Amino acid sequence: MTTLRFTKGHGTGNDFVLVSDPEGEIDLSPVQRAGLADRRFGVGGDGVIRAVRSHRIPEGRELLEDAPDAEWFMDYSNADGSLSEMCGNGIRVFVRFLVEQGHIELAPGASVAIGTRAGVIDVHRIAEGFAADLGRWRLDGGEPLVRARDLPVARPGLGINVGNPHVVVALASDDELEALDLSTAPVLDPPPAAGANVEFVVPADPLVVDGIGRIRMRVHERGSGETLSCGTGAVAAALAVRYWAGSAAPNEWRVTVPGGVLGVRMFAAEDGERVALSGPAELVFEGELTL
């Protein structure tokens, strides 16, 4: 039996169990990760995040060759114990955790490179919390039909990859969004091979105020079910609504999720258009348990 110290944190209500494991000595199996995330028999969370020095995890060592300053790696898994490439809310909470654990110092305005299974992510400390440059994005997997409970007819979704896969579906009204039953996974036809996080969005009317596009969103996450927020999902939602709105649409977005509001910004870079996510990061309590 080993004693495991953990910290509970969240970003706009998307909550995580965080474990500090600098030397990569805690080998959490998918079953143990799911146990930590279990809201009845464990600590409870939408995901489990292990903080490990990059040179102590194979996926991290690969990144260090090109990004030697990515000293820390975010080992993220969903509530069911499945690994995911990236977690937008999670990486903000992860950096806050590294700071509070004394693993790094990060002055306001400074940034830190973090290794993830989606590559190296630069995270900046800002007044409202943190901003993560999620990098390049791409349309992904066409337009699967999406069926969900209480959705009268199947709707075409837009596949977008922001390091992890998403399918974004436009709904007609806030009422339709509220009425949606996301207690079971939406059915995608054809089903993407690696599954997908599914976001349901309602563009505000008017869509743009003071140059900022506004969206309301709910999400059913791959491996976690409905969550109060999804950072990469908010990014995918803004990219999809901008795609549908056409060239006049802005590059600055506010995405309202049940757990709060996230900022999304698209910007030109040498390697092509990149996208950044900003929002709060909170640490709520600490504890220990025996594994």
Ligand X SMILES: N[C@H](CCC[C@H](N)C(=O)O)C(=O)O
Residue number with CB closer to ligand X (117 or 207):
117
Residue 161 counted as an annotated binding residue: no
CA-to-CA dists, residue 251 to 109, 139, 273, angstroms:
22, 17, 11
User: By C-beta, is 164 or 278 nearer to ligand X?
Assistant: 164
Amino acid in position 63? L
Is residue 266 among the annotated active site residues?
no
CB of 289 to ligand X, least distance (A): 23
251 annotated ligand binder: no
CB 188 within 8 A of CB 198: yes
CA distance 67 to 58: 14
Residue number with CB closer to ligand X (221 or 226) = 221
Q: Are 60 and 70 in contact (CB under 8 A)?
A: yes
222 is in an annotated binding site: yes
The 10 Å CB-count burial string (b at 16+, else e) for 59-91 is ebeebbeebeebbbbbbbbbbbbeebbbbbbbb
Please state, in angstroms and rounded to a whole number, the distance separating the CA atoms of residues 214 and 157: 19
Residue 20 and residue 101: Cα distance in Å, rounded? 8
Choice among 87, 180, 238, 277 that is catalytic: 87
Query: Least distance in Å: CB of 92 to ligand X?
Result: 9
Q: How far is the CB of 134 from ligand X (least distance, A)?
A: 9
63 is a catalytic site residue: no
Of the pair 54, 89, the CB lying nearest ligand X is at 89
Q: What single-letter amino acid sits at 122?
A: D
The Cα-based distances of 166 to 31, 140, 144, 263 in angstroms read 25, 8, 11, 18
Please give the residue ranges that form the binding site for ligand X (CB under 6 A).
14, 46, 78, 84, 87-90, 164, 197, 221-224, 227, 230-233
Tell me: is residue 216 an annotated ligand-binding position.
no
Q: Judge whether 197 is annotated as a binding position.
A: yes
Phi, psi at residue 95, to the nearest 5°? -70, -40
Report the residue number, 54 or 227, with the smaller CB distance to ligand X.
227
For the bound state, the minimum distance from the C-beta of residue 88 to ligand X, rounded and expressed in Å, comes to 4
42 annotated to a ligand binding site:
no
Catalytic residue among 91, 230, 238, 239: 230
Find the shortest distance in angstroms from Cβ 282 to ligand X: 14
> What amino acid is encoded at 22 in this protein?
P
Catalytic residues: 87, 230
Q: Which residues are annotated as a binding site for substrate?
A: 14, 78, 88-89, 164, 197, 221-222, 231-232
Q: Which residues are annotated as a binding site?
A: 14, 78, 88-89, 164, 197, 221-222, 231-232
